[in-house]
Amino acid sequence: MTPRYAPLFDLDVDLPAEWIVLSVAGANDEALTWRIVPQEPGTNRIRIPLAGALAPGATTVVKLRLQRDVEGWPVESEPVVFPLPELVAPQANVVETAFVIRGDDDLDFATEEVTGLDAVPLAAEWERLRYQSQDTRYSGRVKVTRRRAQTAVETIGYFRLDRQSLAATLFATLSITGGGVRELIVSLPESVPETARFQAVGGTLVEQQKLDVQNGRRHWRLQFAERVLGNLRIWTEVTMPRTDAAAEVSCPLFEVAGADRAHGAVVTEAGADQRLTISATNAQGQPLLEMDPLDLPPMPYQFKERIVAVHRTIGVGNSLTVSEQRFEKAAVPTAVCTQLDVLTIVSRTGELQQRALFALRLAGVQQLQVELPEGAELWAATL
């Protein structure tokens, strides 16, 4: 504000009544007093007494922080539209206005029915829209829309076929950009118990809601405390009882509904007494490609058995079935002779004298049994 012909003692600013004054400060952020002067309905006049009379030609700066509540805020699925705040300095004859709109990166901003303002290039990285005007009157509306969330999912499943059950540990690592997500829909095959529980890292999971079964898959809605952007990991552990030890077992694969891209891997473990027959196919029934276990991404999972197969998955609709042949346990020798030296001496009378030297590897053996040829007599034994 710069007066030209007469000193200025107070500064008046008219603003819509919906806007609330949070603070008024000077050029050095010093707090200034202010009061509301009654005006016509729908308009408030803020009168700010200056510290001293502002002489003609001198300049002062006054900063106002304003706020208003907007219906539908924060922005979710529906756009939010509100009018531009029209601030008028009734004491001013010449006005130069710069109108700047800034906001979070997960929101899109547009203006509607703008009059009295001209769009100009942005002057800073944090600016989303910038207008300027030399008119004292202007109007328009701002439309705020949340950007569409884009989600890439990597699912890793670890499966182990025990005698009585199938054990599965399932991970889904999500990379979320755009407007973020407040909820996710995840699914597992219908054979998975509805009591399955999910955990998350990268977002606070506050609610898990069971949904209807669709196309043979059981769905859950996962609700988060705040909108999630960036990396998010979800996992669950599932144990499914086996009714027939000789039958094929279908492994439950984890899917996230609405993902823009999905890939991952399925890992099959087996015990030392198992021989597995594995069938891994994609949604078109084509075999999944095998991959090196060293190419698996690091996961907070501890292997229980040896890895026998790793298959790469692309998209959704993949399947993994496993059947087993289990071998009975056999006794393992606890004493093994690795070397035997036999020396035989024949006397003139035809008698035989023999010395046998055994090199043994023993495990948990307390005594040894030696069987001699028929008619032989043991002279001595040393250990």
- In order, the DSSP letters of 329-368 are P----SEEEEEEEEEEEE-TTS-EEEEEEEEEEESS----
Instruction: Tell me the per-residue pLDDT of 214-266, one tens digit each, with 9 for 90 and over.
Output: 999 999 999 999 999 999 999 999 999 988 766 889 999 999 999 999 999 99
**Residue 263 pLDDT:** 97
Annotation: CATH topology of 150-326: Immunoglobulin-like (2.60.40)
Taking alpha carbons only, the member of 307, 316, 80 closest to residue 188 is: 316
CB burial of residue 234 (10 Å; 0-12, 13-18, 19+) = buried
Residue 215 CB coordination number (10 Å): 8
* Cα dihedral sign, 108-258-314-169: positive
* Cα dihedral sign, 359-365-366-370: negative
Model confidence, pTM: 0.71
Q: Which two tokens stand for residue 187?
A: 């699914």
**Residue 246 pLDDT:** 67
Cβ atoms of 299 and 254 within 8 Å: the answer is no
Cβ atoms of 235 and 189 within 8 Å: the answer is no
**Residue 302 pLDDT:** 94
**Residue 152 pLDDT:** 96
Name the residue type at position 60: T
DSSP 260: S
DSSP helix/strand/coil, 293: helix
DSSP helix/strand/coil, 305: coil
Per the DSSP assignment, residues forming a β-bridge with 218 are 188, 213
Diameter of the chain by CA atoms?
Answer: 150
Q: Tell me how many degrees the CA angle 204-208-210 measures, rounded to the nearest 5.
A: 160
Ordered by start, the domain boundaries in the chain are 1-69, 76-147, 150-326
Residues of the chain falling short of pLDDT 70: 136, 245-246, 330-333
Dihedral Cα 21, 25, 31, 35, nearest 10 deg: -40
